[in-house]
Structure 1
Amino acid sequence: MNSGKLEITTPTDREMVMTRVFNAPSTLVFECYTKPELLKRWMTGPDGWTFAICEVDLKVDGKFRFVWRNVRGNDMGMGGVYKEIVAPERLVHTELFDEDWTGGETLTTLILTDQSGKTFMKSTTIYSSKEARDGALGTNMEQGMNASFDRLENLLASLGKD
């Protein structure tokens, strides 16, 4: 296990895999990934961004819509469709950014595995091409994900006390 550190690997030309361990049960981590009131508290990316729109219709073929806003008022939006939902261990969905800088729709599979009271998170995203994947890796995505996952860890700790 990677002890709360985000690890990003590229096992194939089109895949990006993110892993991290969270100090909480998978049921709680799954809720934080699927409930708008919880998503808004952690998935904001780097400092200076807010979650302006967070809509989730959590069912197979249900849609989601996320829009982040930075301090200058610029928006970054994306949406997708849920393809598979197996609470609290698996969530599969498509993603497409409004300004399509990722080279088309992606497919993301989130797997949450309980391990001795902690959750091992593995998120695999498949891009349309190697160039699209490398383009995404070339952004500040890793910085934003690290910041968000640190917030998620803090949120999980506070929810675990309730």
Structure 2
Amino acid sequence: MNIPVTHASFSLERRLNAPPSRVFHAFADYESKKKWFGGPPEWEQGESSLDFRVGGRETDVGGPVGGFVSTMHAVYHDIVENERIIYSYEMLLNGERMSVSLTTVELEPDGDGTLLTLTEQGAFFTGSPESDGTQVAGRKEGTGELLDALQKYVDGN
């Protein structure tokens, strides 16, 4: 079966009340990242790992109890401490690949805080022409929610 692919890109920005070093640490340190990166509290956590270095890998598996299983596998391609993180990742739903993306996270000093810009370029396997916009919109919304959780974490709220 030939599954259609939709190519899409989006960028999100957040002004964080923490210096770039604290924001970078929230991505780089496993214990810190687990405090903001993941599904809703009611989700069951599966396999989880972080090898934060160029060539390193990250895995995060989870989902609602008795429901679907969401799997993320990432590879880090470029890391500039306190400035930039570039990684590619695939998302699977119940073991079926939904998308493959390249993500760039840029951190710029902004007064005593940080301007974070996340840009994602993705290939989304849509299943049908009617669903191509929904998956991209859902990814943008979900990524925005993760950035909101990051903001709450680094801002100390």
Moved over 4 A (4+): 129-133
Contact 1:67 1:75 survives alignment (8 Å): yes
Aligned to 2:84: 90
Q: 1:133 to 1:93 in 2, by over 3 A?
A: farther
- Relative distance call for 1:148 and 1:49 in structure 2 (3 A) is farther
| Maintained 8 Å contact 2:124/2:135 | no
**C-alpha displacement at 1:55, in angstroms?**
1.1
Task: Tell me, in whole angstroms, the C-alpha distance in 1 between the residues paired with 2:49 and 2:91.
Answer: 15
Structure 1: gaps spanning 5 or more residues? 1-12
Change in Cα spacing, 1:91 to 1:110, as seen in structure 2 (3 Å) is: same
Classify 1:19/1:133 alpha carbon distance in 2 versus 1 (closer, same or farther; 3 Å): farther
State the number of aligned residues.
144
Distance, in Å, in 2 between the alignment partners of 1:58 and 1:83 is 10
Q: Deviations over 1:98-153 (max 9, x none)?
A: 33222xx21111101110011111111111369797343232651x3444333322
Matching residue's letter, 1:100: R
CA gap 1:33/1:113 in 2 versus in 1, 3 angstroms = same
Structure 1 equivalent of residue 135 of structure 2: 136
User: Structure 2: which 5+ residue stretches go unaligned?
Assistant: 1-6
Q: Which residue of 2 aligns with 1:100?
A: 97
Counterpart for residue 62 of structure 2: 68
AA matched with 2:112: G
SS in 1 for 2:73: strand
Mapped to 1, the partners of 2:124 and 2:17 lie a distance apart of: 34
Partner Cα distance (1:153, 1:62) in 2: 25
Cα 1:156–1:129, aligned 2, differ >3 Å: closer, same or farther?
A: closer
CA contact (8 A) 1:45 1:147 kept: no
Shift of 1:73: 5.1
The structure where strand makes up a greater share of residues is 2
Q: CA deviation at 1:58?
A: 1.4
> Does the Cα contact within 8 Å between 1:80 and 1:93 map onto a contact in 2?
yes
Answer yes or no: is 1:56 the counterpart of 2:30. no
- 2:86 touches 2:105 (CA, 8 Å); kept in 1? yes
The structure that has the greater radius of gyration is 2
Larger RCO (CA within 8 A; separation ≥ 6): 2
The structure 2 residue matched to 1:77, chosen from 68, 71, 77, is: 71
Using the aligned pairs only, state the percent identity: 25
Structure-2-length-normalised TM-score:
0.77
CA RMSD across the alignment = 2.7
- TM-score of the pair, normalised by structure 1: 0.75
